[in-house]
A = this chain, B = another copy of it.
Amino acid sequence: MEQSLEQVIQSVFDHVIEYRRDFHKYPEVGWTEFRTASKIARRLSELGYAVELGKSVIRKESRMGLPSELELEAHYERALEQGADTAFLDDLKGGYTGVVGTLKFGEGPVVALRFDIDALKVNECKEDNHFPAKAGFLSINEGVMHSCGHDTHAAIGLGVAEAIVKLGDKHFSAGTLKLVFQPAEEGVRGAKSMVDAGVLDDVDYVISGHMMAMKSGVLVCGAGGFMATTKLDVTYKGLSAHAGAGPQEGKNSMLAACSAVLNLNAIPRHAEGASRVNVGLLQAGSDRNVIAEDSFMKLEIRGETNAINQYVEAYALRIIKSAAQMHDVRFEIQQMGAAPSGKPTQELVSRIQRVSEKLGVFDDIQEWSDDATGSEDFMYMMNHVQDQGGQGAYFIVGSDKVTGHHTSNFDIQEADVIKAVHLYVGLVDDLLA
């Protein structure tokens, strides 16, 4: 006898919490989610999904902000030690930590759900009133923590995977479901490589969401306002010299960097919308009496629209280059991350609102919010599907706030996590049943 949707959701609850706590305990930062991705692949495989991973879903050249070879190897070793599934590990090696599970029911629309899976470089709080401490699933990877809730996102994905299978072929007779597990969302580094690998090419609907520390029971059906952004690392290489005996023999990379910083901040505002530019880190020179040979900057650019972001980026690149030439130093610019702006499809947002109202699990359903001030690389996926005539949306599921995202005692209520599973399954039901 067929179970109701509510019963099915109820039945996967324990697994979702189990996975969530496991991912939380073994957090892995972007492009090193070897253990996490292998576990996901294993589970999808067990559930009967066709699983693709590694280079077939991640385009090598489109990856941004990759750690060094050394770090990749070290984290791979750690994953091995921490119980990664060796059947899948080989494909992930070298930083190809994306996984896609596909379930085909028949002819019909292709629905993709996207879950981001990476952690952050944050030291987790170990005090007793921090729930993961109390419940015994604190991060054991020093200096790494799921302090943005992507542990819940990964677990939600697996919960949805299980629930859909339980609902089964009788329930769904048309269309295809794609569950997209994306690495390296932090720093907006990973989505582009999955888009460029073609993962979204056949998709008609793409949906993603985020657990947000605010208030339990809230659902924002359409979250807009994400700024386009570009993240850059800049290295200046000059020539050292004794500051007393031969300043003229040096090539002063600090003068280049400081000229760049001032002029980057002085890039003219754009009258058509908000823009940002920030050099967040500058390290220049070595010692007091030496002309600064090396300088290094981390910066980011944002624009309310892609055009504004491109305007600022083009200007910034010119400044970075010219500041180097000005002081006769060499320079290297590396793109460490990027995301476009985007706007959820109104029709799909309305559908999310309608579906969520029927589900009855949210107390406070809001149609739309443009309050986002950050950036989200899911916009690459959403734009891509919209460009080929499909629809996309991004929603937010609230959870009572302990502290803000990216802090050491960040937490999401587990009761809210299951609501997100419910919503995703409800949406798939609406789109494919």
A-to-B contact residues, CB < 8 Å: 187, 227, 229, 231, 242-248, 250, 252, 254-255, 257-259, 261-263, 265-266, 268-272, 274-276, 278-292, 298-300, 302, 311, 315, 318-319, 321-323, 325-328, 336, 373-375
Given contacts A280-B289, A281-B284, A298-B287, contact A261 B270 (CB under 8 A): no
Minimum CB distance partner of A269 in chain B: B247
A404–B39 CA distance with the chains assembled, in angstroms: 57
Given contacts A262-B259, A323-B322, contact A292 B281 (CB under 8 A): yes
Minimum CB distance partner of A247 in chain B: B268
Cβ contact of A280, chosen from B280, B286, B300, cutoff 8 A = B286
Contacts of A290 in B (CB 8 A): 278, 280
Contacts of A280 in B (CB 8 A): 243, 285-292
Contact: B255 with A261, CB < 8 Å? Answer: yes
A257–B265 CA distance with the chains assembled, in angstroms: 13
Contact: A275 with B269, CB < 8 Å? Answer: yes
A275–B271 CA distance with the chains assembled, in angstroms: 9
Cβ contact of A288, chosen from B227, B231, B242, B245, cutoff 8 A = B231
Contacts of A292 in B (CB 8 A): 279-282
Prevailing SS type, chain A contact patch: mixed
Contacts of A323 in B (CB 8 A): 322, 326
Cβ contact of A259, chosen from B248, B259, B299, cutoff 8 A = B259
Residue from A250, A261, A315 whose CB has the most chain B CB atoms within 10 Å: A261
Cβ contact of A271, chosen from B247, B289, B315, cutoff 8 A = B247
| Shortest distance between the CB of A307 and any CB in chain B (Å) | 10
| Shortest distance between the CB of A258 and any CB in chain B (Å) | 4
A282–B288 CA distance with the chains assembled, in angstroms: 9
Contact: B318 with A243, CB < 8 Å? Answer: no
Given contacts A245-B373, A323-B322, contact A281 B288 (CB under 8 A): yes
Contacts of A246 in B (CB 8 A): 271, 373
A272–B248 CA distance with the chains assembled, in angstroms: 9
Residue from A244, A285, A290, A311 whose CB has the most chain B CB atoms within 10 Å: A244
| Shortest distance between the CB of A192 and any CB in chain B (Å) | 18
A311–B280 CA distance with the chains assembled, in angstroms: 22
A300–B288 CA distance with the chains assembled, in angstroms: 6
Contact: B288 with A373, CB < 8 Å? Answer: no
Contact: B266 with A266, CB < 8 Å? Answer: yes
Given contacts A268-B248, A269-B274, A373-B244, contact A288 B298 (CB under 8 A): yes
Known pairs A248-B268, A269-B275 / 7 extra A-B pairs, C-beta < 8 Å: A245-B373, A263-B327, A274-B274, A280-B287, A282-B283, A287-B298, A318-B327
Contact: A282 with B281, CB < 8 Å? Answer: no
| Shortest distance between the CB of A144 and any CB in chain B (Å) | 15
| Shortest distance between the CB of A390 and any CB in chain B (Å) | 28
Contact: A247 with B261, CB < 8 Å? Answer: no
Minimum CB distance partner of A264 in chain B: B266
Contacts of A269 in B (CB 8 A): 247-248, 269, 274-276
Contacts of A231 in B (CB 8 A): 288
User: 19 A-B contacts, Cβ less than 8 Å apart?
Assistant: A243-B276, A245-B373, A247-B271, A255-B263, A255-B265, A255-B266, A257-B282, A258-B262, A263-B326, A266-B266, A278-B290, A278-B291, A280-B290, A281-B285, A282-B282, A282-B284, A282-B285, A287-B298, A322-B323
Cβ contact of A243, chosen from B250, B278, B282, cutoff 8 A = B278
Contact: A373 with B325, CB < 8 Å? Answer: no
Contacts of A311 in B (CB 8 A): 248
Contacts of A271 in B (CB 8 A): 244-248, 274, 373
A265–B243 CA distance with the chains assembled, in angstroms: 12
A265–B275 CA distance with the chains assembled, in angstroms: 14
Cβ contact of A247, chosen from B187, B270, B284, cutoff 8 A = B270
Given contacts A322-B326, A323-B322, contact A268 B268 (CB under 8 A): no
Contact: B282 with A286, CB < 8 Å? Answer: no
